Chain A
Amino acid sequence: MSQKSKKHHEPFIHIVKRDELAPAKAWGIRIGAIVLGVLLIGLISSILTGEGFFEVYEIMFRGVFGRLFEGKTNMLWKFLQDTAILLCLGLAVAPAFKMKFWNCGAEGQALIGGLAGMFCMIQFGGKLPEFFLVPLVIAVSIIAGAIWGVIPAIFKAKWNTNETLFTLMMNYMATQLIAYYVYIVGGGSNVINPVSTGALPVIGNLQYLTNILIVALLTVAVYVYLKYSKQGYEIAVVGESQNTARYIGINVKKVVLRTMMLSGAICGVAGMLLVAGTDHSINTNTVGGQGFTAIMVAWLGKFNPAIMTLMAGLIIFLRTGAAKVADLNFLNSSFADISVGVVILLLVGCEFFIQYSVRLRHGKKGV
């Protein structure tokens, strides 16, 4: 065999499957990809806007954190709030994706959760005491999200329907239901004026703190659930191989139903935070497509809530920062999405170098 290969013309580069790469090294490659992406964004921005290379980063920082060093903290809170919401949706999809159930319906599940909460806020506002109404809003949002999440799982379990298409379809249904509700409440103007009854309590003067704390607790809870609980282990086994799961006596259908209910419920929390926590109103754009970005957060974070937190922060930082660069220089607003896209593309692309090593013809060392 070796003799034969020697006779062949040896290609200039070989692509060889790596043995498992040490985690530290793998993360080194990933961080390298992020740094490269951030540098690339700076370079592109600098070329497009005529700003200096380092000034671009200055503008991005200012766009995200405002005048933090002058003691103005409002922008920092906004950054934490945006990160918290995106992370919350990421936490919702992580268990489902870990189980290899492609839940593309976080957007709809969060919207329905928010809609159910909004309904209670409007319907029972002023009629029920606040100490009763607020828990009701929270509970109803979570239940509505869970129901919206479990429906595709039931169909998957019973009739083996495709969950990707099903959850996507459910998104459209949720959007249309909200459009209809906005019409009933808001009339032709297409706007529901904010309602203060049934809203989450504000801690001190910090309007986003409640949301941030809830998501922080949720992050720890999901981490513990996935890593240390029996159910979390079952999710991992079902994700690795359904046959193995069946062989060791795991009821796969039950796990799928339960996990999707959980996934939908956490989406319901996200919807509740947006409606009862910040907007006090709802429209079809309340979640704003973050249900899809959340999939990237979960995937890039390897379903580990700690890493997902960093990823959510990174995406929000890049998006807000790049939007600022675009706004100040009258660039098209897609610039923000493109910037996030550059980094995500590099991050996904670098997985190739984690799985495989590239070897030159004579060299033995991988790159």
Chain B
Amino acid sequence: MKRLLAALLVVMMLFTMTACGAKNNEDELKVGFIFLHDEQSTYDKNFIDAAIAACDKMGVTMVQKTQVPESNKCYDAAVELIETEGCDIIFADSFGHESFLIDAAKKYPDVEFCHATGTQAHTAGLKNFHNAFAHIYQGRFMAGVVAGMKLNEMIEAEKITADKAKMGYVGAFTFAEVMSGYTSFYLGAKSVCPSVTMDVKFTGSWYDEQKEKEAAQALIAGGCVLISQHADSMGAPTACETAGVPNVSYNGSTAAACPETFLISSRINWVPYFEYMIGQVQKGEAIDADWAGTLENGAVALTELGKNVAEGTDKKLEEVEKGLKDGTINVFDTANFTVGGKKLDSYKADVDTDAAFEKDTEVITNGIFEESKYRSAPYFDAEIDGITLLDRNYG
């Protein structure tokens, strides 16, 4: 008993002794990252890899906190990163972190707070709180072109008839970020394969491997000959590989696990934003309230093409990329889609965050639906003809 007590005391003493020795280099810029999950999720992995790359390049220290839920724990995480680690910039990667990050931003006016996918920076009135997103619809559109080319190849090979060119899409939730994504993907495919239609199923979760797999299987059973997804697990790609159905992936290449069916993947490359964010602080300049990544600044990125894409895909893709960059192609050109059989002339979107989801801003000018212009996060949520929602899931 005495020996145990002595051992315990020794351990406790060691605790206190070593705790005093905490060292910290005050001069170096430190960036704290708050992640919803960890590298097991393709969504967070995309951020984590970019953070490591950007911090390495800019010569700053990266500190991370993983598995931070969308609650007051996010505030706690920010406090910890600032007070314990001495971070000068805090970045959080999930939509629901936003309000709690704003609380922290109010408490620490000298620290810069950046948040991906959020919507409140342009109305929060805080100098040190910023949102960022990317015009990922451009990437989705290009991935859609790859899908359309593949459908055309199937039609030419008489594997399917033109009216059977139906794609399937596994989405997480029925809201703007996902809707904008699948619509641009569909429009990309439609731009090369006019007869294409699409079925959409929602899982109600950003990460649920089993549900995503089952949704993909149900879509394939329902006659879909090509699958894409906006959810974060390997569920849909592996279901496609098993069934031999081509897949357009998201967040990164799945070619290693699905070599036969992988076509292409679009993703947001966060390195340009992280470099911008760190660079502005190093220069002592202000960070924009809303930053939108594009094809030009490298934030909208596409992976390499899979080995089974249709012939000529690479050439077509170059052409489309050029068109998107110089503005000759507009993804949400209202001439290219109808809603309820009619062309859209006017559309009010819910741009400013409020409890009533008021549709507050006109977003169509000169026949173009201007996605991500009035804030960085997407707001396209019209249900266009040609896309069938098999179910809805609002979470």
Which residues of A line the B interface, CB within 8 A?
24-25, 28, 31-32, 35, 38-39, 54-55, 57-58, 61-63, 65-67, 69, 72, 74-75, 78, 179, 182-183, 185-191, 193-194, 274, 278-279, 281, 283, 285-286, 288, 323, 326-328, 330, 332-333, 336
Interchain CB contact under 8 A, A67 and B8: no
* In the complex, residue of chain A having the shortest beta-carbon distance to the beta carbon of B178: A188
Interchain CB contact under 8 A, A63 and B84: yes
Out of B18, B79, B96, which one reaches A78, CB within 8 Å? B79
Assess whether B221 is interfacial by the CB under 8 Å rule: no
Binds A, one of B69-77, B125-133, B207-215, B248-256: B69-77
Assess whether B390 is interfacial by the CB under 8 Å rule: no
Interchain CB contact under 8 A, A31 and B4: yes
A31 vs B174: C-alpha distance in the bound complex, in angstroms?
A: 52
Interchain CB contact under 8 A, B83 and A190: no
A330 vs B45: C-alpha distance in the bound complex, in angstroms?
A: 12
Give the residue among B95, B99, B103, B395 with the most A Cβ atoms within 10 A: B395
Interchain CB contact under 8 A, B395 and A74: no
Interchain CB contact under 8 A, B67 and A333: yes
Q: A61-B19, A72-B83 are in contact. Are A190 and B67 (CB under 8 A)?
A: no
Interchain CB contact under 8 A, B84 and A38: no
Interchain CB contact under 8 A, B66 and A183: no
Residue numbers in A under 8 Å from B66 (CB-CB): 323, 326-327, 333
Q: A35-B4, A332-B38, A333-B66 are in contact. Are A190 and B18 (CB under 8 A)?
A: no
Q: A28-B4, A75-B79 are in contact. Are A38 and B19 (CB under 8 A)?
A: no
Per-position binary interface string of chain B over residues 170-193, scored 1 when its CB falls under 8 Å from any chain A CB and 0 otherwise: 000111100000000000000000
Interchain CB contact under 8 A, B63 and A188: no
Interchain CB contact under 8 A, B395 and A179: yes
Residue numbers in A under 8 Å from B22 (CB-CB): 58, 62, 67
Per-position binary interface string of chain B over residues 316-355, scored 1 when its CB falls under 8 Å from any chain A CB and 0 otherwise: 0000000000000000000000000000000000000101
Interchain CB contact under 8 A, B83 and A189: no
Assign chain B's interface to a size class.
Answer: 35 or more
Assess whether B110 is interfacial by the CB under 8 Å rule: no
A62 vs B18: C-alpha distance in the bound complex, in angstroms?
A: 10
A288 vs B69: C-alpha distance in the bound complex, in angstroms?
A: 8
Residue numbers in A under 8 Å from B80 (CB-CB): 63, 66, 75, 78
Q: A193-B353, A278-B72 are in contact. Are A57 and B14 (CB under 8 A)?
A: yes
Known: A25-B1, A190-B395, A333-B38. 11 other contacts (CB 8 A): A24-B1, A28-B4, A54-B14, A61-B18, A61-B19, A78-B79, A188-B394, A191-B99, A193-B355, A278-B71, A285-B71
Assess whether B20 is interfacial by the CB under 8 Å rule: yes
A61 vs B20: C-alpha distance in the bound complex, in angstroms?
A: 10
Interchain CB contact under 8 A, A281 and B71: yes
Residue numbers in A under 8 Å from B72 (CB-CB): 278-279
Q: A179-B395, A188-B395, A194-B99 are in contact. Are A330 and B18 (CB under 8 A)?
A: no
Query: What would 13 A/B residue contacts be, using CB atoms closer than 8 Å?
Result: A24-B1, A31-B8, A35-B7, A57-B14, A62-B84, A188-B175, A188-B381, A190-B173, A190-B394, A191-B98, A285-B70, A285-B71, A333-B67
Which residues of B line the A interface, CB within 8 A?
1, 4, 7-8, 11, 14-15, 18-22, 37-40, 63-67, 69-73, 76, 79-80, 83-84, 95-96, 98-100, 103, 173-176, 204, 353, 355, 357, 381, 394-395
A55 vs B22: C-alpha distance in the bound complex, in angstroms?
A: 9
User: How far is the CB of A187 from the nearest CB of chain B, in Å?
Assistant: 5
* In the complex, residue of chain B having the shortest beta-carbon distance to the beta carbon of A72: B83
Interchain CB contact under 8 A, B64 and A190: no
Residue numbers in A under 8 Å from B8 (CB-CB): 31, 35
Residue numbers in A under 8 Å from B353 (CB-CB): 193
User: How far is the CB of A116 from the nearest CB of chain B, in Å?
Assistant: 18
Interchain CB contact under 8 A, A285 and B69: yes
A67 vs B40: C-alpha distance in the bound complex, in angstroms?
A: 31
A57 vs B22: C-alpha distance in the bound complex, in angstroms?
A: 11
Residue numbers in A under 8 Å from B73 (CB-CB): 288
Give the residue among A39, A193, A327 with the most B Cβ atoms within 10 A: A327
Q: A187-B357, A330-B64 are in contact. Are A67 and B83 (CB under 8 A)?
A: yes
Interchain CB contact under 8 A, A190 and B175: yes
Interchain CB contact under 8 A, A57 and B4: no
* In the complex, residue of chain A having the shortest beta-carbon distance to the beta carbon of B176: A188
Residue numbers in A under 8 Å from B96 (CB-CB): 190-191, 283
Interchain CB contact under 8 A, A191 and B95: yes
Interchain CB contact under 8 A, B1 and A327: no
Interchain CB contact under 8 A, B71 and A187: no
Interchain CB contact under 8 A, A193 and B65: no
Residue numbers in B under 8 Å from A179 (CB-CB): 204, 395
A58 vs B11: C-alpha distance in the bound complex, in angstroms?
A: 12
Q: A183-B394, A193-B99, A328-B63 are in contact. Are A32 and B71 (CB under 8 A)?
A: no
Out of A54, A55, A279, which one reaches B71, CB within 8 Å? A279
Give the residue among A185, A189, A326, A328 with the most B Cβ atoms within 10 A: A189
User: How far is the CB of B12 from the nearest CB of chain A, in Å?
Assistant: 10
A24 vs B4: C-alpha distance in the bound complex, in angstroms?
A: 12
A247 vs B40: C-alpha distance in the bound complex, in angstroms?
A: 56
Residue numbers in B under 8 Å from A74 (CB-CB): 79, 83
Out of A32, A57, A75, which one reaches B18, CB within 8 Å? A57
Interchain CB contact under 8 A, A75 and B19: no
Residue numbers in A under 8 Å from B76 (CB-CB): 78
User: How far is the CB of B317 from the nearest CB of chain A, in Å?
Assistant: 31
Residue numbers in A under 8 Å from B83 (CB-CB): 66-67, 72, 74-75
Residue numbers in A under 8 Å from B14 (CB-CB): 54, 57
Q: A35-B8, A188-B395 are in contact. Are A55 and B18 (CB under 8 A)?
A: yes
Residue numbers in B under 8 Å from A326 (CB-CB): 66
* In the complex, residue of chain A having the shortest beta-carbon distance to the beta carbon of B39: A332
Residue numbers in A under 8 Å from B15 (CB-CB): 57, 61
* In the complex, residue of chain A having the shortest beta-carbon distance to the beta carbon of B19: A61
Residue numbers in A under 8 Å from B84 (CB-CB): 62-63, 66-67, 72, 75
Residue numbers in B under 8 Å from A193 (CB-CB): 99, 353, 355
User: How far is the CB of B168 from the nearest CB of chain A, in Å?
Assistant: 21
Out of A25, A28, A69, A78, which one reaches B20, CB within 8 Å? A69
A61 vs B1: C-alpha distance in the bound complex, in angstroms?
A: 26
User: How far is the CB of B157 from the nearest CB of chain A, in Å?
Assistant: 39
Residue numbers in A under 8 Å from B204 (CB-CB): 179
